[in-house]
Structure 1
Amino acid sequence: MRFYFIGGLGSNENHMTEFAHCFPFPITYLDPYKVNLESPKDIEDWFEAHADTNENTCIIAHSLGGDLARYLASKIPQMTHLVLLDGGYLDMDQILPLEQELEETLAYLKQQVFSSLEEAIASELGDRDNPSPATIKAIQSSYHWNSDLHHYELDLDPQAVLSLLRLRRDLRSFQAPLTDTKTLFIGPNYEEEPVWRAQALETLDPSIKKVLLKDLGHDFYTAVPKLVSKEIINWIGVCS
């Protein structure tokens, strides 16, 4: 079986480094955030251009990446296993209007500008103590120098990001059937769940194995990569 990883919006391959080190099989990182994907066909073409679909495939996907992966699972027969890391299960129309999401995302992208990488790293880390070298490298790799405006900014094409957010609404992949795909959902278990998230978890397709981890945030796979890897390998062993 071949393994692929699709990260959440704004992530890069370095965010996966520690998880990949813990995972016992080779895993290929796929980045959909640097290309302009405007239609479901674009997503299928993008995946087939970067992945070998001649073998059984497992995609491990985080956040927005989970929406893309779940859609692919409904279209590609060779995708026999799917791992959703807190993604691929939310109806975004129940959370906020599309135009509001687009406006807030664009405003965030415009705000993330810094005079130095050190300033960017400090802003991303906040009060976090003793970040790993992989975490620092991931933040550094998320920014590039804009020589015209003389600042560091997120290395993302705003229009490509907005196109992907629009496409997610059209895909409605949280409803995509997973009849022929074994699926594992891993997510954080918050003490105070937002109503929309609690409802989404309650209505999760019963064929999906659900694992909720306490005392962790949305990016839990970077915080406890060994635990996440163990959960995935144990599940594959049971369902294969």
Structure 2
Amino acid sequence: MKFYFIGGLGSNKNHMTEFASYFPFPITYLDPYRVKLESAKDLVDWFEAHADSNENTCIIAHSLGGDLARYLASKMPQITRLVLLDGGYLDMDQILPLEQEIEETLAYLKQQVFSSLEEAVASELGDTDNPSQATVKAIQSSYRWNPDLHHYELDLDPQAVLSLLRVRRELRSFQAPLTDTKALFIGPKYEDEPDWRTRALENLDPSIKKVLLKDLSHDFYTAVPNLVSKEIINWLQICS
């Protein structure tokens, strides 16, 4: 079986480094944020261009990556296993209008500018004690130097990002049937769940095994990569 990882918006392969070190199988990182995907067909074509279609496949995907992965699994028979890391289950139209999401995303991209990589790392880590080298490298790799404006900015093409946000709405992957794909959902369990997330979790397809982990944030796979790896391996063994 081939294993692929699709991260969330703004992530890069370094975010997966520690998880991959615990995961017992080779896993290939795929980055959909470097290309402009404007339709469901573009998404399928992109995956076919980067993945081996001759073997059974498992996609592990985080956040927005989970939305993309769930749609792919519903369309491509070689994807027989799917792991959603807090993604692929939300109806974004029930959370906020697309126009507001686009406006807030553009504002965020404009705000994330720094005079140095050290400043960018400090901003993202906040009060985190003893961050791993992989975490620091992942943050550093998320930024690029803009020689015209003399600052570091997120290494993302705003137009590609906005296009992908539009495509996500069109995919409606939270409704995508997984008839021939076994799926696992892992997400954080918050003490005070927003109503929209509570409803979404309650409406999660019952065929998808659900695991909720306490005292963790949305990016939990970078915080407890060993635990996430164990959960996935145990599930793979059960459904093999």
TM over 0.5: yes
Alpha-carbon distance in structure 2 between the residues aligned to 1:151 and 1:231: 41
- 2:202 is the alignment partner of 1:202: yes
Aligned-partner Cα distance in 2 for 1:103–1:34:
21
Task: Give, in angstroms, the shift of residue 53 of structure 1.
Answer: 1.1
**Mapped partners of 1:203, 1:118: distance in 2:** 42
Query: Which residue pairs with 1:216 in the alignment?
Result: 216
CA RMSD of aligned residues (A): 0.4
The aligned counterpart of 2:61 is 61
Aligned-partner Cα distance in 1 for 2:136–2:62: 19
* Runs of 4 or more above 3 Å deviation: none
Q: C-alpha separation between the residues in 2 aligned to 1:73 and 1:183?
A: 10
Report the Cα distance in structure 1 between the residues aligned to 2:105 and 2:133, rounded to whole angstroms. 28
1:177-196 superposed matches below 5 A: 177-196=177-196
> How many positions carry a matched residue from both structures?
240
Q: How does 1:83-102 map to 2 (within 5 A)?
A: 83-102=83-102
1:101-180 to 2 correspondences below 5 Å: 101-180=101-180
Structure 2 match to 1:225 = 225
SS at match of 2:38: coil
Q: Which amino acid aligns with 1:25?
A: F
Q: TM-score, normalised by structure 2?
A: 1.00
CA deviations 1:150-205 (Å, max 9, x no partner) are: 11000000000000001000000000000100000000000100000000000100
Secondary structure at the aligned position of 2:83 is classed as strand
**CA–CA distance in structure 2, aligned partners of residues 134 and 53 of structure 1:** 31
Partner of 1:81: 81
Separation (CA, whole Å) in 1 of partners of 2:200 and 2:158: 28
Looking at structure 1, the residues matched to 37 and 182 of structure 2 have their Cα atoms a distance apart, in angstroms, of 26
The share of aligned pairs that are identical, in percent, is: 86
CA distance in 2, matches of 1:203, 1:171: 18
Q: Name structure 2 gaps, 5 residues minimum.
A: none
Question: Which residue type is aligned with residue 79 of structure 1?
Answer: I
Query: Which secondary structure state, in structure 2, belongs to the residue aligned with residue 33 of structure 1?
Result: helix
Amino acid at match of 2:125: L
TM-score w.r.t. length of structure 1: 1.00
Taking the aligned partners of 2:227 and 2:40, their CA distance within structure 1 comes to 33
The CA deviation string for residues 85-111 of structure 1, in whole angstroms up to 9 with x for no partner, is 000000000000000000000000011
Give the letter aligned to residue 150 of structure 2. Answer: H
Tell me the residue number matched to 1:16.
16
Counterpart Cα distance in 2 of 1:36 and 1:181: 27
